[in-house]
């Protein structure tokens, strides 16, 4: 089957002939390829960040949290009422706050989280996160994140010393009394009997996949956290797991009437809103900025076709003299822009998907070649670069690139179609 007249000429003009126009054509195709590939990679990585961040947060944190301005007193009655609310799957009490952790002279300030392990397993599946040891917690035992274990040099079986605010406050108060009155025997006796720091045995090391959790959390039995903070039977909050983490509004409205004064409910989206908003804003901003690469490539397409119309002035005049219609002339040059857009789309799509597929291997190779850390987990909170290709995003990128290339080709095509054949042949 013969190709249409306009497409036949367009392909003839695009054939490599070792001319300046051919070089510009190759540059135009490479520009479109680069723009599409970079956009696919960046948008896929930013989408991966957003989705993976949600998965990691939902894998470790509760869907809803009930907390008081101070401590949650009489929480058992509230717990019983919350469990009756439709849509609530499980609840678990917790005590959480900053502590000082010391091991072999190394000191860090992680967060301790006192939990009832059997109930907490219904909120966060710690079983699948364990890298060493067991998730079972008993008296004076704890679980730590893998990054915290690396920072302090801890292994399963080691003893971690924990200084909580109650310890520090008691000690500082007694020291101040002794400084004011060195003969205060009561203060000296109390200082000897002050609550000692807790020594917790490491029975398990977990890896959630998010750096913040793996570097900052020490999980202990609930009563240990209560003792360290001097809470008695009170807690800091109540974790809730629901049937739908994305449809929490009806459940929150049903829980609100049961909340004691000063107690508030927060969803996982509320607690991480700034983080998710920042990722989405950066994603949209990067899309707009990088889209200009395709626009620059479109200008290269336009420049190529303007050069062709100038060089082919005589041929255009002959075609019009032989009866070629303006529409046929337009399609000759418009088809060139479309062919460049198609080639750029195909090569850019292939390159973008390939780099997304092997992004972490490329990152490791580049880090080794340059001798620098390309993706620090302490900053980005992930040990590997997350990515997720969304077909709708890829379709939008490819279609937009094709349309822009076609529009860039239309201006020189329309100029060529309006060329007067008499003037074109007169000046040759």
Q: Where are the beta strands (DSSP E) in 186-325?
A: 198-206, 217-221, 235-242, 263-267
Residue with tokens 């977990």: 206
Are residues 411 and 334 part of one domain?
Answer: yes
**Token code pair at residue 250:** 């009806």
For range 161-183, the mean pLDDT: 65
**Token code pair at residue 20:** 């300046």
Cα angle for residues 87, 88, 94 (degrees, 5° grid): 160
Are residues 37 and 88 part of one domain?
Answer: no
Q: Is residue 204 domain-resident?
A: yes
Helices (H) and strands (E) in the chain, counts: 18, 12
Q: Is residue 255 domain-resident?
A: no
pLDDT in tens, 277-291: 877 788 888 888 878
pLDDT in tens, 92-105: 999 998 888 888 88
Q: At what angle do helices 313-321 and 326-357 cross, to 10 degrees?
A: 130
Helix (H) or strand (E) segment spanning residue 311: helix 273-311
Total structural domains within the chain: 2
Are residues 190 and 117 part of one domain?
Answer: yes
Among 191, 226, 244, identify where a domain stops.
Answer: 244
Strands 100-103 and 106-108: antiparallel
Q: Is residue 254 domain-resident?
A: no
Closest CA to 103 of 15, 162, 17, 44: 162
How many Å apart are CA 148 and CA 421, to the nearest integer? 79
Q: Is residue 148 domain-resident?
A: yes
Are residues 307 and 240 part of one domain?
Answer: no
Q: Is residue 393 domain-resident?
A: yes
Quote the domain boundaries for residue 358. Answer: 5-53+275-426
Q: Do the beta carbons of residue 389 and residue 44 sit within 8 Å? A: yes
Are residues 291 and 417 part of one domain?
Answer: yes
419 — pLDDT class (breaks 50, 70, 90): low
Q: Is residue 263 domain-resident?
A: no
3 — pLDDT class (breaks 50, 70, 90): very low
Interacting residues of 245 by C-beta distance below 8 A, sequence separation 6+: 58, 63, 268
Among 223, 244, 265, identify where a domain stops.
Answer: 244
User: 203 phi and psi, to 5 degrees?
Assistant: -110, -10
Are residues 80 and 204 part of one domain?
Answer: yes
DSSP string, 150-202: HHHT--TT-EEEEE-HHHHHHHHHHHHHHHH-TT-HHHHHHHHHSPPPEEEEE
What's the confidence (pLDDT) of residue 379?
Answer: 66
How many Å apart are CA 122 and CA 6, to the nearest integer? 67
Closest CA to 129 of 236, 217, 254: 217
How many Å apart are CA 75 and CA 236, to the nearest integer? 10
Residue with tokens 């990054």: 147
Q: Is residue 105 domain-resident?
A: yes
Q: Say which range, 26-30, 161-165, 171-175, 286-290, has the weakest mean pLDDT.
A: 171-175
Record the pTM: 0.64
148 — pLDDT class (breaks 50, 70, 90): very high
User: 232 phi and psi, to 5 degrees?
Assistant: 70, -125
How many Å apart are CA 301 and CA 32, to the nearest integer? 9
Are residues 311 and 408 part of one domain?
Answer: yes
For range 347-367, the mean pLDDT: 88
Q: Do the beta carbons of residue 121 and residue 90 sit within 8 Å? A: no
Strand-pairing partners, residue 198, are 162
**Token code pair at residue 402:** 């094709």
User: What is the end-to-end Cα distance of the chain in Å, rounded?
Assistant: 35
**Token code pair at residue 377:** 């987990």
Q: Evaluate if residue 220 carries a pLDDT over 90.
A: yes
pLDDT in tens, 254-265: 998 888 888 888
Q: Is residue 320 domain-resident?
A: yes
Are residues 281 and 395 part of one domain?
Answer: yes
Q: Evaluate if residue 171 carries a pLDDT over 90.
A: no
Half-sphere exposure of 55 (CA within 13 A, CB side): 12
Are residues 135 and 47 part of one domain?
Answer: no
Are residues 211 and 154 part of one domain?
Answer: yes
Helix (H) or strand (E) segment spanning residue 130: strand 130-133
Are residues 70 and 49 part of one domain?
Answer: no
- Put residue 16 in one of left, alpha, beta given phi > 0 → left and psi -120 to 50 → alpha: beta
How many Å apart are CA 78 and CA 84, to the nearest integer? 10
149 — pLDDT class (breaks 50, 70, 90): very high
Are residues 297 and 382 part of one domain?
Answer: yes
């Amino acid at each position: 089957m013969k190709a249409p007249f306009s497409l036949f000429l367009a392909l003839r003009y695009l054939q490599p002939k070792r001319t300046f126009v051919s070089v510009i054509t190759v540059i135009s195709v490479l520009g479109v390829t680069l723009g599409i590939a970079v956009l696919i990679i960046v948008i896929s990585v930013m989408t991966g960040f957003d989705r993976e961040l949600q998965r990691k947060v939902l894998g470790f944190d509760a869907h809803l949290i009930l907390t008081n301005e101070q401590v949650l007193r009489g929480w058992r009655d509230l717990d019983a009422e919350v469990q009756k609310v439709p849509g609530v799957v499980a609840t678990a009490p917790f005590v959480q706050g900053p502590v000082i952790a010391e091991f072999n002279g190394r000191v860090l300030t992680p967060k301790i989280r006192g939990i009832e392990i059997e109930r907490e397993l219904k909120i966060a599946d710690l079983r699948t996160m364990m890298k060493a040891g067991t998730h079972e917690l008993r008296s004076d035992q704890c679980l730590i994140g893998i990054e915290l274990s690396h920072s302090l040099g801890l292994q399963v079986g080691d003893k971690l010393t924990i200084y909580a605010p109650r310890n520090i406050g008691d000690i500082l108060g007694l020291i101040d009394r002794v400084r004011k009155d060195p003969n205060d025997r009561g203060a000296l006796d109390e200082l000897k009997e002050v609550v000692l720091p807790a020594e917790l045995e490491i029975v398990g090391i977990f890896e959630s996949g998010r750096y913040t959790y793996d570097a900052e959390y020490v999980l202990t039995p609930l009563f240990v956290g209560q003792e360290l903070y001097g809470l008695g039977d009170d807690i800091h909050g109540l974790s809730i797991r629901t049937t739908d983490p994305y449809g929490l509004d009806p459940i929150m409205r049903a829980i609100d009437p049961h909340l004691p004064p000063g107690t508030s409910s927060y969803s996982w989206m509320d607690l991480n809103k700034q983080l998710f908003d920042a990722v989405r804003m950066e994603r949209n901003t990067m899309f707009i900025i990088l889209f200009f690469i395709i626009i620059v490539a479109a200008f290269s397409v336009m420049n190529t076709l303007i050069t062709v119309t100038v060089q082919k002035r005589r041929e255009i005049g002959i075609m019009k003299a032989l009866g070629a219609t303006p529409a046929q002339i337009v399609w000759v040059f418009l088809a060139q822009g479309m062919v460049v857009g198609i080639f750029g789309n195909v090569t850019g799509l292939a390159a973008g998907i390939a780099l997304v597929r092997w992004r972490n291997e490329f990152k490791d190779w580049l880090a080794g070649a340059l001798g620098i850390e390309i993706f620090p987990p302490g900053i980005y909170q992930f040990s590997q670069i997350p990515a997720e290709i969304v077909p709708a995003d890829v379709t939008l990128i490819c279609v937009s690139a094709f349309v822009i290339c076609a529009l860039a080709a239309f201006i020189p095509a329309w100029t060529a179609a309006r060329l007067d054949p008499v003037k074109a042949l007169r000046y040759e």
